[in-house]
Amino acid sequence: MSNHIFLVEDDESLAYILKDSLENGGYKVSNFYDGKSARLAFSRGAYHLCIIDVMLPLLDGFSLASYIRQMDRSVPILFLTARDAEEDKINGFKLGADDYITKPFSLEELKLRIEVFLRRTSQTSQCLIGKFKFDYTNLKLECSETQFILTQKEADLLKFLCMHADVVVKRETILKELWGDDDYFMGRSLDVFISKLRKYLSSDSSIEIKNYHGVGFKLLM
């Protein structure tokens, strides 16, 4: 699964350059031109890193970053903005940003910073799910009694659900992110993988992957 970058930049020319360069570097990039549509998209998707301008239409970048940090405490947030006042930088970091880059900027430097943050994130890819320890990088799900070696798709799905714990994630969102399509046969495949994850986690009654019929799933733990 390629690292998915959440790019919010209202300058269409700059957004095109950034998106093209990052995609050529092997990343998947979703670009949004205003804060309001970006906020909605973040609530429905899963992203590995966010690049956000501050001066955005409809909802400013600071408000968007505050919302993102409430939804996800670990995703790296990089501000990329022309606002270079010290108080803006301080405000950005107080809101939970990991970096604050002012325009004009070096594209190569930005890409290196992205690599650093994603590398740090991958190094902390272990998380606790109830009594289980989930190691995404090594495809392991283990507790004191047993250990499961997951397939890549099982690990991708469990990670996706963990990133949105306690939030209903729509079926079509999961299918488009992990399978690339949301047709009937892919949907049946998703149901099979959900059943497998439930079986793996069944020894801990505090964990539940709840099905919202016709809507999606929520990981409760």
| Res. 123 pLDDT band, cuts 50 70 90 | low
Q: Which own/partner pairs from 132-140 qualify as long-range (CB within 8 Å, at least 24 positions apart)?
A: 132/201, 132/204, 132/207, 134/158, 134/159, 134/162
Taking each helix axis from N to C terminus, what angle separates 12-24 and 107-123, rounded to the nearest 10 degrees?
60
Q: How far is CA 9 from the centre of its chain?
A: 18
The larger pLDDT score, comparing residue 122 to residue 127, is at: 127
- Tell me how far apart the alpha carbons of residues 215 and 29 are, in angstroms, rounded to a whole number: 25
- Tell me how far apart the alpha carbons of residues 129 and 136 are, in angstroms, rounded to a whole number: 12
Domains detected in the chain? 4-123 (3.40.50.2300), 126-220 (1.10.10.10)
To which residue do tokens 């016709």 refer?
214
> Residues 54, 48: contact at Cβ < 8 Å?
no
Radius of gyration, CA atoms only, the chain: 18
* Average pLDDT of the residues of the chain: 89
Reported as a single tens digit per residue, the pLDDT across 63-112 is 999 998 887 777 899 999 999 899 999 999 999 899 999 999 999 999 99
pTM above 0.75, yes or no: no
| Res. 144 pLDDT band, cuts 50 70 90 | confident
Reported as a single tens digit per residue, the pLDDT across 148-198 is 999 988 988 998 898 888 889 999 989 888 887 767 677 788 999 999 999
- Tell me how far apart the alpha carbons of residues 57 and 215 are, in angstroms, rounded to a whole number: 30
Q: Which two tokens stand for residue 156?
A: 């991708």
